[in-house]
Chains A and B, each alone.
Chain A
Amino acid sequence: MNVRIKIDGLTYSYSYDENDAVHDVSFEVNEGEFVGLIGPNGSGKSTVLKNIYRALTPDKGAIFLDGENLLKMSHRKTALKQAVVGQENDVPFNFVVEEIVAMGRSPHKKLFDIDTAYDKQVIRHALEHMGMADMAKRNYQSLSGGEKQRVIIARAIAQESSIFLLDEPTNHLDISYQMQIFDLIKRLKVTVLSAIHDLNMASLYCDRIYVLKDGKIVLSGTPEEVFTPENIFNVYGVRCSVEKHPITGKISITFLPEEIIKTHSVVDKPLGGNA
């Protein structure tokens, strides 16, 4: 399979912290895959993604996009290959939805280019895909969190890049919006690397998963391979039971509070039990 993103020994530390935020991380994302990055808070998920989308520059190691060294590429060229949906999506000034989506066209534009009929068409399609076509003229600031997120993804679609980097794209959203957003992204048939907070979401949507803990990759594999009660206890320190869900065919994780385990007669089962 065709390797789209290759990360080789990535190490990064923030200036205010003497420990490495990310230490010697290596992994690959192949064409058409939906790859999840999971791990506890502060494990380095965002840091890895920020290094890939060049908000941060690696201290050590290298990142390759389609075999080309990321740091040797122009910012514009990187933007043509990968679209980013980050966590910070506030816009401090008045913009209508359409204008925000139109910003996704920027990397396609040279200095004196104006917006063409094709640009307008791409913008309209992107909004339609996200079910936001009738909100094109609304003020972005007046939208709800879920609507804003859909606009930002429409912007990424308008960018026409075949790699999507998502940094917890469904954070703080209702479950209906979470499902909707992952469904819509999945339907795009693009290569995705996404940091995901919710393990069940990761299990539902990811082809492969990398688990980060304290800035290092500790586990990797398919959701079935990664999500075992032992692994989850080792990484997150919580007990759970997992089973293959009869309808989705995916691993479904149920977390078990300490209080319930204490009073439960069969203590061993949740730890070792599997479908």
Chain B
Amino acid sequence: MTLGKKIISLKSCFNREEPNMPIIILILAIAAIITMIIATGLGPVTVSPDKVAKILLSQIPGIGNNVAVTWERLEQNIVLGLRLPRVFLGMVVGASLAVCGVTMQALVRNNLADPFILGVSSGASAFATLGMLFGAFSFLGQYSLALSAFIGSAVTIIFVYMISRVRGRVNITQLLLSGVAVSTIMEGLTSIIKLSAPNALGLHNAEFWMSGSLAGAKWAYLQLPFVVLVVCMVFLMINYRGLNLLLLGDDNAGALGINVRRFQKFLILIASLTAGVAISVSGRIGFVGLAVPHSTRLLVGGDHRKVLPVSALLGGIFVVWVDVAARMIIAPEELPVGILTAVIGGPVFIWMLKRNTMAKR
């Protein structure tokens, strides 16, 4: 096949009217694996992709012993101890934030919803800082950070959702403004907590964490976000019809057999879990939940059966690459990845807002 034909057939796969889902998922899954191998090699010390692949293969029991060792010990340590957990974490966080965005957008029936814009990230940070600096949630054990961030997200989502509902329907102006108001309150709370912090070390940690970074990734951080992502994803995929129906409005969704109130509560729980847990391991990485689902819908249309897996994969790939950029641009120093996503995502948000208001006219 010539290249031209290939592009045409690729275009027909990503046709919004009739996307060829198995092929799209396959392409994205392969892209995700390639991304992980290349991204693992990139950084201040570069390891070539074939070495990364071999190092990874050597770790697989059974075939691992057949791989000839052509790399240095240091390279193996960088790949396995530093980069790989970071890349994995990027995948999981990106996917979680994208899935959280999809969930929130279905909940409020608007594609401008995003954990960052609606103040959920601020809420999670406020509660997490409280936990970090004062040990307010230490009774929750090793998951205290994740759980406090989850509680923060849940409180904010419920708050924003309740304020923005006018006579049973979410009003977009009200939604964005209540997002601004709630995140301002939460930022204020965070400042108060930080100013009255009892020790400087904790404060430094909190500051670094809050700017949004994957730099501190360890294998131990991965478990919880991964489990939460899988569980939430399974729940959402089982209920994809319900998510679609919710877009028709509460009344229509109810008339088509959904227990709307109960389903919305589940979605609030899911959105809080995915946002809270992702934020607890990576700080605030904004706009992923906005830009990724939006691009996904441009590719495959609005059906959640397609939107959910595609945005999860795209979100993961996107965050991993932005993180690569974050550690390369001013190497050997690092940029917080949250700053980069904000620089990319902000304009996307403005463009979408503009387009939305133009469509209304």
Contact = CB atoms under 8 A, between A and B. Distances in A.
A99 B252 CA distance: 15
B302 A93 contact: yes
A83 interface: yes
A219 B167 CA distance: 30
Given A50-B251, A91-B248, A93-B247, A103 B18 contact: no
Contact of B249 (A75, A88, A159): A88
A75 B258 contact: yes
A244 interface: no
B102 to A, nearest CB: 10
A94 B238 contact: no
Interface string A71-109: 000111111101110101111111110010001101101
Contacts of B105: 93
Contacts of A103: 241, 244-245, 248, 256
Nearest to B18: A137
A79 B109 CA distance: 22
A106 B263 CA distance: 15
A53 B241 contact: no
B314 to A, nearest CB: 16
A55 interface: yes
B250 interface: yes
B247 A92 contact: yes
Interface in B217-240: 238-239
B297 A75 contact: no
A118 interface: no
Contacts of B258: 75, 106
Given A103-B244, A112-B238, A94 B255 contact: no
Interface residues of A, number: 37
B140 to A, nearest CB: 32
Contact of A94 (B18, B239, B254, B297): B297
B346 to A, nearest CB: 22
B303 interface: yes
Contacts of A83: 255
Given A16-B167, A106-B241, A111-B238, A95 B301 contact: yes
A94 B256 contact: no
A77 to B, nearest CB: 8
Contact of A53 (B16, B109, B251): B251
Interface in B254-307: 254-259, 297-298, 301-303
Contact of A79 (B17, B242, B255, B298): B255
A159 B302 CA distance: 21
A60 interface: no
B296 to A, nearest CB: 10
Interface of B: 16-18, 105, 109-111, 167, 238-239, 241-242, 244-245, 247-252, 254-259, 297-298, 301-303
Given A53-B254, A99-B244, 7 more contacts: A75-B254, A89-B252, A93-B247, A103-B256, A106-B245, A111-B238, A139-B16
